[in-house]
Amino acid sequence: MKRIVLFFTAIAVFSLGAHAQSKDFSLGKWVEVNNAILKELNRSYVDSLQVGRIERAGINAMLEALDPYTLYIPEEEQEDFQMMLNSAYGGVGAIIYKPDVQGNVVINEPYEGSPAALAGLRCGDEVVAIDGQAAAGLTSAECSEKMRGKPGTTVVLTVKKLRVGESWKAGDVLEVPVVRRRIVLPSMEYAGMLNEADGYIYLSKFTEGVGQEIRDAYKELKTKGMKRLVLDLRGNGGGIMGEAVNIVSLFIPKGSVVVSAKGKAATEQVYKTTTDPVDTEIPIVVLVDNASASASEIVSGALQDYDRATIIGTRTYGKGLVQSIRPLPYDGQLKLTTAKYYTPSGRCVQAIDYSHRNEDGSVGHIPDSLTHAFTTAHGRTVRDGGGITPDFIVKPHKYSRLTYSLVYSGVIEQYALDYVRAHERIPALEDFHFTDYEEFIAFAKDKEFDYRSSARALFDEMKKSLEEDGLTEALSGELNALQKSLEMDKETFLRLKKEEIVPFIEEEIAVRYYFQQAGIRVRLRYDDQLHEALKQPAISWN
């Protein structure tokens, strides 16, 4: 019997060794073949070979076969990558608008407290030249690149002023030196009181240090009488896992598991709270939607698992993968998926299984029938396999196709700039309400944008299909009648959708007079999902 056991043990060891050798052989073979192909292309291809382009295309195709989050970042793209990672760059701190290549650069939104704002640049000012080079003839991206640079360096902007100032008239052209600075776009974009009892924090991403910002904001809101906290993670695509842990640490006891990450060879890292909480009793509402992902799901999942918060909104995105940065030769970097993360109850929220693809290479969501049940600290059932399901489903307002078109085509943005040119000031934000809608209609009706209703867009698609099938002539009577009933001119449609368009105009205008936080405050006025969430009963899961 002992000999039989030894025999099977030997087979197992040999099989493992053979498997390892097989993987090493396959990798070595692939590298050798890849190099041979490049050499032969370089030697014999009929046209001049753009080696850099085809190598990058090959790398991208290889990584795309894994998942959307594993990326190669060469040296020349490091600055953009750091901007994406940390929301920071060296520059003047302003959003610019360039209506056409031959025109000047228009200052659209200077950030509050930025070098641009401190230098007196305001919305509507035109940048005629950057360091002596005319803006006319440059693209918007080229102008932006020239305005960026190493913090501490100076860029001289030739500016045509929109408004009268202390030492200039409207229309004067001035040389404005601006000292570049490290511009950090805020992750905690707003914190304030919604009413006498409800404090509100809007977090758009998880960047370094944001946990401390939330801690400070929480303490400030408590001094203002906050009795319930609303943490808004809608649209938050994630960021640094450690900052998610820091935020959860504010509300649950020290030493509690927040998230665990399991990578290759079943290795597991467990992340626990390491600081004393600021409050383990205050009711918390966490707002989420289908764009809340990664670190947002760590926070909402942990607080849900500990029955510490009420999660309200719609199901989150379902990104349960962890990425790490690895150095590569020639100062490149590889951002690759190294683990899956799990909430305290054991849930993995990953919605898409990238390791099992269909024959055509596509991937699908994990069906609800294959998900598993887990229990929270007080015995409630929660499930894995597809994001965080809220405790209360509250759907957002559904906007018309027309409103989306006005936003994405830039018509509302262009109108806001025209409004600023015509109005030196507006009332205090609390008193400001946009009332010039007929003026907006007159502006918008002459602009090019897709003003079809959703029904009309579907009709046009259906008509194309019928044309391909040769059926339009046979159905011409019915089609003409339906088309006539769906037709609506721009002005009529704009008037019909006034109630949902006005808030977008109001927000765009407010930002240009009172900076970015003013836009959020206007948005909160009309946030039906938030207002509905506040009506939900304060639940204690204890």
Q: Are 304 and 312 in contact (CB under 8 A)?
A: no
Q: At CA 483, angle to CA 478 and CA 488, rounded to 5?
A: 155
Give me the catalytic one of 294, 296, 300, 345. Answer: 294
Q: Are 516 and 189 in contact (CB under 8 A)?
A: yes
CA distance 50 to 404: 40
Torsion, CA 433, CA 436, CA 437, CA 440, rounded to 10: -120
Question: How far is the first Cα of the chain from the last one, in angstroms, to the nearest whole number?
Answer: 57
Q: Under 8 Å CB-to-CB from 270, ≥6 apart: which residues?
A: 257, 260
CA distance 322 to 325: 10
Q: Are 289 and 314 in contact (CB under 8 A)?
A: yes
Give me the catalytic one of 98, 146, 319, 497. Answer: 319
Q: At CA 202, angle to CA 269 and CA 281, rounded to 5?
A: 65
Query: What angle do the packed helices 51-64 and 2-44 form, to 10 degrees?
Result: 150
Q: At CA 304, angle to CA 289 and CA 539, rounded to 5?
A: 95
Q: Are 351 and 368 in contact (CB under 8 A)?
A: no
Give me the catalytic one of 125, 198, 289, 305. Answer: 305
- Could you give the 3-state DSSP secondary structure of residue 235? coil
Q: Are 308 and 344 in contact (CB under 8 A)?
A: no
Q: Tell me if residue 305 is catalytic.
A: yes
CA distance 40 to 25: 22
Q: Which residue has the tokens 């977008």?
A: 504
CA distance 245 to 203: 14
Strand-pair partners of 393: 313
CA distances from 239 to 179, 244, 300, 321, 488 (A): 29, 8, 14, 12, 44
CA distance 57 to 66: 15
Catalytic residues: 294, 305, 319
